[in-house]
Structure 1
Amino acid sequence: MTISQSNNESNGTQPPRIPTTQGYGQHPLHDRSQRPLKVIVVGAGPSGIAALVELKKLPHVEILCFEKNADVGGTWLETGYPGAACDVASHAYQYSFDYKTDCFSPAEEIGEYFISVAKKHDLYNRITFNSRAIGAEWDDDTGLWRVQVARDILPESDAIVENHLAHVFINAGGILNDWKWPDIEGLHNFKGKLIHTASWDPKIDLKGATVGIIGSGASSIQAQEKGRQWAEKMISSAIASPELREKLIPSWELGCRRLTPSLPYLKAIQEPNVNVIRTGIRRITEMGIETEDGELHEVDTIICATGFNTSFSSRFNIVGRNGVSLRTMWKARGPEAYLGMAIAGLPNYFTLLGPNCPIANGSLIPCIESSAKYIVQAIKKIQTDQIRSLDVKQPIQDAFNDYVQEVHKDLVWTGSCQSWYKDRKSGRVVAVWPGSSIHFMEMIASPRWEDFDIKYINREAKGEDLTYYLDDMVPEVKA
């Protein structure tokens, strides 16, 4: 793919100062909230929408949102496999400012809900669609983020790369949209149809087919509920004990993995055309699925309900202070953040649904809302206090994460199961908050600014912070 370059940069300059006889520069804007700021948001899924709704409330803030898809909704725009739905009751899986009454709504209705919210709050004119972030770098001298965005203007044309500058960068790209194939020998040697639930082609016709479903999570359960209706025979690959009843009872602690309640699923697996296999998979052949006992289960179609890349690593390279990338930062200890939102070494950067956010502690949506409000408080402080950079202190972040892991030792998520809540290398729990969702929301209601390293646009040379009251100092005493 050929990529052409285009610049679309703002210089992030500050309003002019009015000199005084005392040698200070007086700011012409006595109301500091009038300081113009630019904020870039990547992603227009549930997190991005919540962020945009809150950001719109800020005066004198220019907002740019880039979304890789052609519409809002994120995962719920992309999810289209048969039976796709939310496993959280809809009265809990919605914004507090826009209620929807359906219970366990299907994916299409959830997607329509987020579209309706975006329209109601006039967010479309702030979002550039078919535009994916491909890189971001912090400039300590200017106090600005440079975000590279590849815009796919037309399907047959080359992408155009634009550079955008912003004082604050919000990553709302989500973690459940980068789907992955299972790591099984011979998977792509299969001669039949190979499908992933997260990349479902609605044109696929499986009536009368023999279908093998790999996986036992939420998407697998939902696909099986519908699959039994059109498949002549369906094989579900799962690890369980010999009797069907026992197969459904996990050997690990209740809640160690995500709970997936579904009465239709329990009915579906008892249908005569459904066979639940307890034996693990050895490999995939051209004809079907070979299990550890040596038996070959011939199928026409394999559906991989095997989830997403949940490493929290961004799809694009993010470079912070001193040229250190986020991937390098996380190489030693795995994904870590402060309150799931701020990351040491990445000033003026915030992420929604970051490490140790409350992804399994209840509904995500209220926590996303609370996180967006926290970020807006930080932006207000940057704006009114004339702050160049707001960066969580590394010792604070380390202490927070050590505490998180210590608390998790007594919680169910450190149980004996294999779970995407845990980092594969270290075994640390990186995807769950060490408490309830209500506890999380209470914790982040009032930011602790003392946990951040703050650099101001102007700083008195002796270290005394007079910048909130007095602006530019004369050159010889300027820091």
Structure 2
Amino acid sequence: MFQVFAGSGARKKYADDEQQRTDVPDQSADGEVRHVHICILGTGFSGLGMAIRLKQRGYKDFVVLEKAEDIGGTWRDNTYPGCACDIPSHLYSFSFALNPNWSHMYSPQREIQEYLCDCAQRFGILPHIWWNNELRDASWSDDEQRWHITTSQREFTTDILILGNGPLSEPALPHISGIENFEGEIFHSAKWRHDLDLTGKRVAVIGTGASAIQFVPQIQPKVAHLVLFQRTPPWIVPRLDHPISEEKKRLYRLLPFTQRFVRTRIYLRQELTALGIVYNQKAMEKGMQFAREHLERQVADPELRAKFTPHYAMGCKRILVSDDFYPAAAQPNVEVVTEHIREVRGRSVVTEDGQEHEVDVIICGTGFHVTDARLPQCVRGRGGQTLADAWSENIHAYMGTAVPGFPNLFLLIGPNTGLGHNSMVYMIESQLSYLLDCFRTMERKQAQVVEIRSEVEAAYNDEVQQRMQKTVWASGCVSWYLDARGRNTTLWPGFTFEFRRRTRRFDRQNYDLLPQYIPLTN
């Protein structure tokens, strides 16, 4: 039967701090609906980072909506075997909260989530979190100049709404004929079935993306037979992961500047990749040769090696890092199938060549709804227009942060802020600084409403799309970076330090600022 299974459940790690988790009533003492100044959605890196920066600047009247019972966003939900970051740990963390205790160069999922939980506790964010509150509707009122919010538990109003839910929060299941009739077990990698023992099972894995190359090596030794359905081979380079010694950890604790030096060095190394991806595709030739040599070293069978050899420019799709995927895929109990899937039957997967693969379990490593997510349908701006309607032709936002027609709404990791080469935390922190300066400007100018001018936003996005045509992402391959019309509305077409420079100060000349709302009285 076809369904998406939930994970193993929240770990209730704040049981000893229950007083900090006390629910706030929906109404004030006089019966009015509760009002908060700022509402943040999500407790991943984006939402939690925003909350911490607000707290550091002295803001107290804000809440964080969390649909689950625990912190972490993507790093809470994705618990599949082998889940880990593909950016070195020292860089994949807040600059204001370095962690000298990372166990490996590339941190595992649980360690990253624990880092986020520690940040929430250390910076006093727990009392601001409303748990088990999934956003159902957010509607702007021009009359009141505020947002009306409805969640799965309450209704309230807020002056400013910040969407920090992130682009990798809604798992995407494949559209395959007959898949709903599969009689075995089926689940998405982001909703891993920890209660299901795969030992001795015949397992099909659909997809060879960033998740699959991490969990396939973990399950391959357990299963009787694994059929790996691959649509397009990814470019894979060595991960070269290694434990961080206790001596280095002690050094980072005693002399934090040494860890900042390592962080800066990693950042500059990662940033060099943008030279080839964004500015000069010929510069990727060395990278492609490096990846081909990695494949040749790890896969001896020429037929299998041919299946894993990409035939598109490196960087057009996400570049993956792994030391153990190729060796796992080359084992005798693994079959790599490149024929397209025609249909799913009761106990099998049938490909276009008519071959039927009998399986007991199907695992979908098929990514997320990035350009067609559900949340924009719940957000209504001026005149009741939803964010989904505003994005019906193409997804767009000024600096990936503000959208015309949606006053006092701000996005974190919005359109064209994604990266194919460096740490998203760097981009998030750039947006956080931009918003903090925006809020300071509103206070200084005694403005209650701020809205990006439509002509400014349109010109900005025209610039982004023009620059995109010169990048490797426009070289012809199909990827999740592209929307239904083939526009890359996901990635930032430049160096990350350019984005930071452009968001260093709030550019109030590009926005309309309206004065504070004064209600009419009799």
TM bucket (normalised to shorter chain) is: 0.7 to 0.9
Question: Where do 1:50-199 residues align within 5 Å?
Answer: 50-59=49-58, 61-100=60-99, 101=102, 102-151=104-153, 162-199=154-191
Matched, 1:268 2:321: no
Structure having the higher Rg: 1
User: Can you list the C-alpha shifts for 1:108-143, whole angstroms capped at 9, x where unaligned?
Assistant: 111111111111111111101111111111122222
Report the CA distance between 1:455 and its aligned residue.
Answer: 1.3
Aligned with residue 516 of structure 2, among 457, 460, 474: 457
In the alignment, what sits opposite 2:44?
45
Q: Secondary structure of the equivalent of 2:442?
A: helix
- 2:220 alignment partner, one of 228, 232, 237: 228
Change (3 A) 1:44 1:92: same
Given that 2:207 and 2:231 are in contact with CA atoms closer than 8 Å, whether structure 1 keeps it comes out as: no
- Letter of the aligned partner of 1:238 in structure 2? Q
Partner residue, 1:30: none
Q: Which residue of 2 aligns with 1:321?
A: 382
Deviation by residue 1:353-406 (Cα, 9 ceiling, x = unmatched): 111113324110111112112111111111221102110000111111111110
Q: RMSD across aligned C-alpha pairs, in angstroms?
A: 2.0
Q: Helix, strand or coil: the match of 1:182?
A: coil
Q: Which amino acid aligns with 1:52?
A: A
Distance 2:500 2:325 in 1: 33
Q: Partners in 2 of 1:368 and 1:326 — Cα distance? A: 21
Is contact 2:435-2:506 (8 Å) kept?
Answer: no
* Residue of structure 2 in register with 1:208 after alignment: 200
User: Is the alpha carbon distance of 1:448 and 1:361 closer, same or farther for their aligned partners in structure 2, counting shifts above 3 Å?
Assistant: farther
Distance 2:33 2:429 in 1: 29
> Quick one: distance in 1 between partners of 2:173 and 2:120?
32
Structure 2 CA distance for aligned equivalents of residues 269 and 248 of structure 1: 10
Q: 1:293 aligns with which of 343, 353, 365?
A: 353
Which residue does the alignment assign to 2:315? 255
Deviation at 1:278, TM superposition (A): 1.6
How far did residue 299 of structure 1 move? 1.1
Q: TM-score, normalised by structure 1?
A: 0.84
Conserved 8 A contact 2:149-2:155: yes
Whether contact under 8 Å (1:312, 1:354) holds in the other structure is: no
1:120–1:258 CA distance, 2 compared to 1 (3 A) = same
Classify 1:340/1:73 alpha carbon distance in 2 versus 1 (closer, same or farther; 3 Å).
same
Distance change >3 Å, CA 143–CA 11, structure 1 → 2: farther
Give matches, 1:430-469, under 5 Å.
430-457=489-516
CA distance in 1, matches of 2:137, 2:202: 43
Within the candidate set 372, 381, 384, 2:441 is matched to 381
Q: Contact (CA 8 Å) 1:361, 1:433: kept in 2 or not?
A: no
Say if 1:213 and 1:234, in contact at 8 Å, map to a contact too.
yes
State the alpha-carbon separation in 2 of the partners of residues 358 and 439 from structure 1. 14
Q: Deviations over 1:245-268 (max 9, x none)?
A: 122221111101111111110111
Matched position secondary structure for 1:145 = strand
From the superposition, tell whether residues 145 and 58 of structure 1 become closer, same or farther in structure 2 (CA, over 3 Å): farther
- Work out whether 1:407 is the aligned partner of 2:467: yes
Whether the aligned pair in 1 keeps the contact of 2:145 and 2:449 (CA below 8 Å) is yes
| Cα distance in structure 2, aligned partners of 1:49 and 1:344 | 25
Query: What is the SS of the residue equivalent to 1:252?
Result: coil
1:467 corresponds to = none
Does the aligned pair in 2 maintain the 1:74–1:177 contact within 8 Å? yes
* Contact 1:70-1:130 within 8 A present in 2 as well: yes
| Letter paired with 1:258 | R
Distance 1:254 1:414 in 2: 12
CA distance in structure 2 between the aligned counterparts of 1:64 and 1:240, rounded to whole angstroms: 43
Amino acid at match of 2:116: F
Q: Is 1:335 the equivalent of 2:337?
A: no
Cα pair distance change 1:60/1:271, threshold 3 Å: closer
Superposition deviation, residue 415 in structure 1: 2.3
Give, in whole Å, the separation in 2 of the partners of 1:382 and 1:310. 31
Asked if 2 retains the 8 angstrom alpha-carbon contact of 1:212 and 1:237, the reply is: yes
Provide structure 2 residue ranges, at least 5 long, that are not aligned to the other structure: 1-24, 234-301
8 A Cα contact 1:175 1:312, kept in partner: no
Q: Which residue does 2:488 correspond to in 1?
A: 429
Of Structure 1 and Structure 2, the greater strand share is in 1
The worse-fitting range, judged by mean Cα deviation, of 245-254 and 258-267 is 245-254
Q: Which has the higher helix share?
A: 2
User: What one-letter code is carried by the residue in structure 1 that aligns with 2:382?
Assistant: R
Q: Distance in 1 between matches of 2:503 and 2:232?
A: 41
CA-CA distance at 1:78 after TM superposition:
1.0
2:458 to 381, 385, 398: 398
CA–CA distance in structure 2, aligned partners of residues 359 and 204 of structure 1 = 34
Comparing 374-383 with 96-105, which one deviates more in the overlay? 96-105
What's the CA shift for 1:308? 1.0
- The residue type paired with residue 41 of structure 2 is V
Shift of 1:180: 2.1
- State the distance in 2 between where 1:370 and 1:312 align: 25
Of 225, 230, 243, 1:238 maps to 230
Query: CA, structure 1 residues 209+314, in 2 after alignment: closer, same or farther (shift >3 Å)?
Result: closer
* Contact preservation (8 Å) 2:329, 2:335: yes
Seq. identity, %: 32
Query: Aligned partners of 1:225, 1:415: CA distance in 2, in Å?
Result: 31
Separation (CA, whole Å) in 2 of partners of 1:166 and 1:408? 36
Alignment check: 8 A CA contact 2:26 2:156 kept: no
CA distance in structure 1 between the partners assigned to 2:162 and 2:426 by the alignment: 18
Distance 2:176 2:438 in 1: 45
Distance (Å, rounded) in 1 between the aligned partners of 2:232 and 2:416: 29
